[in-house]
Amino acid sequence: MPTVDDLLRASAALHQHLCPKQVLGVRMGLLAADLLGLSLPRADKRVLTIVETDGCFADGVSASTGCSVGHRTLRVIDYGKVAATFVDVETGQAVRIAPHPEARQRASHYAQGARGHWQAYLEGYQRMPFDQLFSWREVFLVEDVRAIISTAAARAICTCCGEEIINEREVIRNGRALCRACAEGAYYRETEREALAVRQLVQRSKRRPGRQDGTLKDSFGE
């Protein structure tokens, strides 16, 4: 079982330095282990963690839970909050943890002699009891955890842009499979030349012999 110091070193290695938000992330993961009655960090996919901001804090959570974007066990829903929800995917039990509103003010009490607020946060957050550092409550996910995890091998082709969609993230509109960018609007805008090239590629794919569904599966070497 790794110690807090072990986990802080692991987080610092990920982020190339140690800061107060990483300490919050590491200790939040340790509290989640207690609340869910699970051993963390884990190498399996028993725990799904949803963090509400990115950056240093997320690295700390990853170090203490073993959850990562690459393993599809760490998701970022960016509310700009140093908070996270930890889900036992086998039981559905979920707990949301956030810093106590008075955590900053309390930190100096546990870091006597610290030089400045930043150092007091860094040292104090490592020593504070959980009930002084965090507030937490049990929650349930609005979306079924099975839908969030989805089926990794599932594939579809967007009938608008022709790109492949994985992990059951397609949207069905009027019987057509669409990617979310085409169905709901993307975070980017294409140049007119690029948009024209995509439309031409989709049209050519629909004319391929033996392919009546408009897919581009052949383009991926499958």
SS3 state at 89: coil
CATH topology of domain 4-148: 60s Ribosomal Protein L30; Chain: A; (3.30.1330)
Residue in 40, 37, 47, 89 with CA at minimum distance from that of residue 64:
40
Tens-place pLDDT, residues 145-177? 988 988 878 899 999 989 999 999 999 999 999
Indicate the pTM of the whole model.
0.81
Strand 164-166 relative to strand 94-99, pairing: unpaired
The residue extents of the domains of the chain are 4-148, 151-220
Q: What is the pLDDT along the chain (222 residues), one digit of tens a residue?
A: 788 888 888 888 876 789 999 999 999 999 999 999 999 999 999 999 999 999 999 999 999 999 999 999 999 999 999 999 999 999 999 999 999 999 999 999 999 988 999 999 999 999 999 999 999 999 999 999 988 988 878 899 999 989 999 999 999 999 999 999 999 999 988 777 666 666 676 677 666 554 444 444 433 333
Distance CA 18, CA 146 (A): 34
Tens-place pLDDT, residues 72-85? 999 999 999 999 99
Helices (H), the chain: 4-15, 20-36, 56-65, 103-107, 117-127, 130-133, 145-149, 180-184, 192-206
